[in-house]
Amino acid sequence: MTEIKRFGIISVAKISGVIYCVIGLIFGLLFALISILNMAAPSDGGMVTAGLGSVALLILAFAIAVLYGILGFIFGGLIAWVYNVAAGWIGGIEMEIGE
């Protein structure tokens, strides 16, 4: 049996930040695409409104991705720190690794 005693806080934070940034980008672009299609639907403004709003929505999608990445970094590091404290008190997670 192998035991995970500690995680590198910065290491976990970086990986978590990248993962959440990608998740934020995927959902942000999906949200922007749905919103752009909704604005392009026939209505009073039509495509003129969709053209101006779509640029803002794409910028917002990238801003969401950056925000998710920053929050993922912060909370990933916090969770790694909490794990390290808890593992110091009660022991780490036991794993069996086959060769």
Ordered by start, the domain boundaries in the chain are 2-95
Greater confidence (76 vs 37) lies with: 76
Q: For the whole model, what pTM was predicted?
A: 0.76
Q: Please, which residues bridge with residue 52 across strands?
A: none
Q: Using one digit for the tens of pLDDT, what is the confidence trace for 5-43?
A: 899 999 999 999 999 999 999 988 888 888 777 766 666
Average pLDDT over residues 87-91: 92
pLDDT at site 4: 87
State the pLDDT confidence band at 81, using cuts at 50, 70 and 90: very high
**Phi, then psi, of 4 in degrees rounded to 5:** -85, 110
CB 4 within 8 A of CB 57: no
CA distance 45 to 30: 22
E strands of the chain, at which residues? 2-4, 93-95
Residues whose CB is less than 8 angstroms from the CB of residue 85 and which lie 6 or more positions away in sequence, other chains included: none
Reported as a pLDDT band with limits 50, 70 and 90, residue 76 is very high
Q: Does the structure show a pLDDT above 80 at 70? A: yes
Taking the C-alpha atoms of residue 78 and residue 82, their distance in angstroms, rounded to an integer, is: 6
Q: Which of 15, 34, 28 is nearest to 62 (CA)?
A: 28
